[in-house]
Structure 1
Amino acid sequence: MSRGRLIVVGGGQSGLAAARAGRDMGWEPVVLEAGPEPVGSWPRYYDSLRLFSPRRYSAFPGHPFPGDPNGYPGRDEVVEYLRGYADRLGVEVRTNARVIDVATDGPAFAVELVDGSSLVGDALIAASGSFGDPHVPTIPGREAFEGRVLHVADYRSPEEFADQRVVVVGAGNSAVQVAHELAEHAETSLAVRDRVRFAPQVIAGRDLHWWLRLTRADFLPPTVLGKLVTGTPVIGTDKYKRALEAGRPDQRPMFTAFSPDGVVWPDGSREEVDSVVFATGYRPHLPYLRSLGVLDRAAAPRHDRGVATSLPGLGFLGLEFQRSFSSNTLRGVHRDARYVVDALTRQPRGVTVA
């Protein structure tokens, strides 16, 4: 007997993980993906992106990642992996199905799509990720800056920046990786508010993720992990650290303002800059839930480990540090999916929607 219809908004890694968990627990999942295929935002990431976790630790349960299990897959490999996973999942996936609003219909959820169609479900999981809401901090003078400002979400490859003066803002994996490859084509600086922290890719002959699993550090809740680790480390070989030490790119304190033709550094000096790339993260992208009153003033969801705190039947997936350090990663999202679907299954529910 079916537990009812589980609507999953978003068909990337989080949405597919939610659909798998829902199917396994007796629900009838319907995945609504805004794009042309259920691969999430992966096709839109920069060309050289490569996972920091090996294939053996990046795979979903029961679906091995093709290739060397100890190798690190690139962007296009992940796209192909998710495409194959969706094909074998055996659930209903609707593409080009952008959700514009969700309302309650008694104990159920009424979902409106951009094409004017609608459907109703007994439970709903918002798994649309954050790629649609890249975060760029407010910095004085940006409006007058005559150069190019972009988020790493819009960056693809370094060739278009050849011979420019470029500043990359951020201290995480994407910032360092992008700055490193830009430095081969342009005069590049990495602007940071604190400092770049590094974690080795391999320790005593074992990949870092082997140790994270052995010590169960990958499963620690954020409240505990935050007491043990400060900041998010850049994971990789020593090449990034050596490159920064060699000044390619050089590392500087975050600039304080834009000027019309560049930036103003903390010591008051001004420098002409052609482009500024912000690798400053993303924010949850959940505009279709505004009418439900489940978002705070910053448009972030009110939840407890992915379960809405004010509306039964509603869950979230793919949030950063939702339950652990690996929550919004390929290797960790399926654990969160099982937790959230199980929690929704245990909640009291109304009449099943036909």
Structure 2
Amino acid sequence: MTGQPEGVVTGGGQAGLAAGYHLRRLGLDFVILDARAAAGGAWQHTWDSLHLFSPAAYSSLPGRPMPGQPGEVYPDAAHVVRYLSDYERRYELPVLRPVHVRGVHRDGEFLGVESDSGTWRARAVISATGTWWRPFIPAVPGRAEFGGTQLHTVEYRSPADFAGRRVVVVGGGNSGAQIAADLAYGSELTWVTQRPPRFLADDIDGRALFDAATARRRALENGQRDTAGVASLGDIVAVPPVREARDAGLLKASPMVVRLTRDGVEWADGTRAAADAVIWCTGFRPALSHLTPLGLRGARGRIRTIGTRAADEPRLHLLGYGDWTGPATATLIGVGRPARDAARAIAESLRS
């Protein structure tokens, strides 16, 4: 399978679909290449109890409000998967799957997109591969020595898998707090964080976070003082399960460990704790290996951007990797604006 569309989107999750919506509205010829076997992006691979931070009405992609989920204020991941699948069908987005993109390279006036299903030559490429597929685990001493189970957020599914076991959860963000809350009742939990966890006020959810991110973007665009956006409010959204575990006194964080031992963990003062499993809720890195042939990656593995456009390759746009490519672009509601901007920039470049 090969082709020469005007645009290629790599990744068919929420960012790729938002891009597709705006490209379709502008009448462009494009294709979305998705490595997953089914619609839903990373949401179809999350842990069982994961819920959104915001009500459905504040978790929508452009053009199509997310319907509410009966009995839930904050929809679960399965509901998001159904929504994304419906969104893709509703707008008849040209998603091909499973197609694994191997590399993007320059090909004269085109960008060549090589995959296990053929090569596409396009005038523009939107990279929307996200971060879920590149989990990060810090180089803590003793990881190879530890004799128990180690897994990352991406591999965690259910507290039933750890019932009665001694579990160390590493990480003070939302994933760490939610998984710690998940395990607090049926496991012997130790929660360790780099710094004391900062819970947002209980009445703050994704709506307020999006407003904070938007206010920061506007301030920066107008040359005003950086408001720090979401970071100024805290690190952890107190969704109901987290709030309940916290209020029950079950979410007490310890300082970060300095090493793993054969049968547990150790702190800087020499204190040790036995553990059967360590769950690393330590974040992700952008999944950008397919862009390596372009030679654009700089400090910290990032590609320098102006808005969504790669500064050193104007035919490439990056979408959905977080604040690096626009405030809140890794969220359902936040990705719509930068997706629109990227699509408009591509349309303008094709007319020039």
Q: Give TM-score, length-normalised by structure 1.
A: 0.89
Could you say if the C-alpha distance between residues 212 and 134 of structure 1 is closer, same or farther in structure 2, counting changes exceeding 3 Å?
A: closer
Q: Distance in 1 between matches of 2:125 and 2:145?
A: 44
Partner SS state of residue 17, structure 1 = helix
Is contact 2:320-2:330 (8 Å) kept? yes
Q: Distance in 1 between matches of 2:213 and 2:126?
A: 30
Could you say if the C-alpha distance between residues 291 and 31 of structure 1 is closer, same or farther in structure 2, counting changes exceeding 3 Å?
A: same
How far did 1:29 drift?
1.9
Residues paired across the two proteins, number: 344
Q: Does 1:176 align with 2:177?
A: yes
How far did 1:73 drift?
0.8
Partner SS state of residue 87, structure 1 = helix
- Greater shift after overlay, 235-244 or 143-152? 235-244
> C-alpha offsets along residues 206-254 of structure 1, whole Å, 9 cap, x if unaligned?
x661685499537557892427834752112576356346541331000
Q: What residue ranges of structure 1 are gaps of 5+ in the alignment?
A: none
The answer for the alignment partner of 2:292 in structure 1 is 290
Task: Tell me which of 318, 321, 329 is aligned to 2:320.
Answer: 318
Partner SS state of residue 104, structure 2 = strand
The answer for the alignment partner of 1:278 in structure 2 is 280
Q: Which amino acid counterpart does residue 44 of structure 1 have in structure 2? A: H
Partner SS state of residue 320, structure 2 = coil
Q: Distance in 2 between matches of 1:327 and 1:39?
A: 17
The answer for the alignment partner of 2:97 in structure 1 is 95
How far did 1:336 drift?
1.2
Q: Distance in 2 between matches of 1:28 and 1:236?
A: 43
Is contact 2:308-2:318 (8 Å) kept? yes
Q: Distance in 2 between matches of 1:166 and 1:329?
A: 29
Q: Distance in 2 between matches of 1:77 and 1:71?
A: 12
Q: Which amino acid counterpart does residue 96 of structure 1 have in structure 2? A: P
Taking only aligned residues, the RMSD between alpha carbons, in angstroms, comes to: 2.7
Q: Does 1:157 align with 2:155?
A: no
How far did 1:202 drift?
2.5
The answer for the alignment partner of 2:207 in structure 1 is 209
Is contact 1:176-1:240 (8 Å) kept? yes
Could you say if the C-alpha distance between residues 155 and 220 of structure 1 is closer, same or farther in structure 2, counting changes exceeding 3 Å?
A: farther
Q: How does 1:161-240 map to 2 (within 5 A)?
A: 161-202=162-203, 209=207, 213=211, 216-217=214-215, 219-220=217-218, 224-226=226-228, 229-230=231-232, 232-237=234-239, 240=242
Q: Distance in 1 between matches of 2:90 and 2:282?
A: 35
Could you say if the C-alpha distance between residues 80 and 42 of structure 1 is closer, same or farther in structure 2, counting changes exceeding 3 Å?
A: same
Q: Which amino acid counterpart does residue 60 of structure 2 have in structure 1? A: A
> C-alpha offsets along residues 8-30 of structure 1, whole Å, 9 cap, x if unaligned?
00000000011111122232120
Task: Tell me which of 296, 308, 330 is aligned to 1:328.
Answer: 330
Q: Does 1:129 align with 2:125?
A: no
How far did 1:172 drift?
1.1
Q: Distance in 2 between matches of 1:291 and 1:215?
A: 33
> C-alpha offsets along residues 91-123 of structure 1, whole Å, 9 cap, x if unaligned?
3110111100111111211111124x1111110
Could you say if the C-alpha distance between residues 198 and 114 of structure 1 is closer, same or farther in structure 2, counting changes exceeding 3 Å?
A: same
The answer for the alignment partner of 2:260 in structure 1 is 258
How far did 1:323 drift?
4.9
Q: Which amino acid counterpart does residue 157 of structure 1 have in structure 2? A: S
The answer for the alignment partner of 1:113 in structure 2 is 115
Could you say if the C-alpha distance between residues 247 and 254 of structure 1 is closer, same or farther in structure 2, counting changes exceeding 3 Å?
A: farther
Q: How does 1:295-314 map to 2 (within 5 A)?
A: 295-296=297-298, 298-314=300-316
Q: Distance in 2 between matches of 1:183 and 1:195?
A: 18
Could you say if the C-alpha distance between residues 182 and 148 of structure 1 is closer, same or farther in structure 2, counting changes exceeding 3 Å?
A: same
- Aligned structure 1 segments of 4 or more residues deviating by more than 6 angstroms: none
Q: Distance in 2 between matches of 1:61 and 1:292?
A: 30
Q: Distance in 2 between matches of 1:277 and 1:88?
A: 38
Could you say if the C-alpha distance between residues 221 and 35 of structure 1 is closer, same or farther in structure 2, counting changes exceeding 3 Å?
A: farther
Q: Distance in 2 between matches of 1:41 and 1:237?
A: 20
The answer for the alignment partner of 1:50 in structure 2 is 51
Is contact 1:212-1:218 (8 Å) kept? no
Sequence identity (%): 35
Is contact 1:221-1:325 (8 Å) kept? no
> C-alpha offsets along residues 112-166 of structure 1, whole Å, 9 cap, x if unaligned?
1124x11111100000111110011110111111111111110000111111111
- Greater shift after overlay, 185-194 or 6-15? 185-194
The answer for the alignment partner of 1:340 in structure 2 is 342
How far did 1:179 drift?
0.3
The answer for the alignment partner of 2:149 in structure 1 is 148
Q: Distance in 2 between matches of 1:97 and 1:131?
A: 17
Is contact 1:107-1:349 (8 Å) kept? no
Could you say if the C-alpha distance between residues 131 and 56 of structure 1 is closer, same or farther in structure 2, counting changes exceeding 3 Å?
A: same
The answer for the alignment partner of 1:62 in structure 2 is 63
Q: Give TM-score, length-normalised by structure 2.
A: 0.89
